[in-house]
Amino acid sequence: MQLTGLLRARDAWSADACSIRRALEVAGTRSALLILREAFYGTTRFDDFAARAQVSEPVAAARLRELVEHGLLEREPYREPGQRTRMRYKLTDCGAELFPVLAALMQWGDRWLAPAGPPVELRHHDCDQPVRAELRCDSGHQLAVADLELIAGPGGTRAGAQAGGRSGGDN
């Protein structure tokens, strides 16, 4: 990866507004990622999240509460016949957009941590081919890390830095 423009001098800008850090503050714990995995797999009930993510009920409650507060999941009342009203959890659009992150983690884990092969696979249901997470630009080019440039974005922080109306960034 190449740092360009205002970002070339690494000591001249700060990663204070880093989007990676912000994302990790919302969904960066092991339990949050496992609960999100379960939500993608169709889990909706509290007890099932705790059991399937293999976390304690207090941990499941805390993570579910945080994921709801940050808008990745929403609570919805439901009632089974003869039972009291309970809450179920479902992914929001915000939460659903994290799936490529989980797919990339799964792909990495399959390659580097699963010597016997992947325990589960993602496949395209129309053609039965494996699904992979990859980097592509808006023009559709497949990219490697060496093909990337990191440039200053509008939400970055760098005291006094201005270039073409954009301040230093750190995404």
Domains of the chain with bracketed CATH: 18-122 (1.10.10.10)
pLDDT in tens, the chain (171 residues): 999 988 888 888 888 888 999 999 999 999 999 999 999 999 999 999 999 999 999 999 999 999 999 999 999 999 999 999 999 999 999 999 999 999 999 999 999 999 999 999 999 999 999 999 999 999 999 999 999 999 988 887 654 333 333 333 444
Q: Residue 165: how many CB atoms within 10 A of its CB?
A: 6
Are residues 75 and 61 in contact, defined by beta-carbon separation less than 8 angstroms? no
CA distances from 125 to 37, 91, 100, 110, 121 (A): 19, 21, 17, 20, 12
**What is the reported pLDDT for 156?**
77
Separation CA 169–CA 171 (nearest Å):
6
Q: What is the pLDDT of residue 68?
A: 98
Per-residue model confidence as pLDDT tens digits over 121-149: 999 999 999 999 999 999 999 999 999 99
CA dist 156 and 12 (Å) reads: 12
Distance CA 131, CA 108 (A): 13
- Structure confidence by residue, pLDDT tens digits, 29-42: 999 999 999 999 99
Instruction: Supply the pTM of this predicted model.
Output: 0.85
Give the burial class of 48: count Cβ atoms within 10 A of its Cβ; 0-12 exposed, 13-18 middle, 19 or more buried: middle
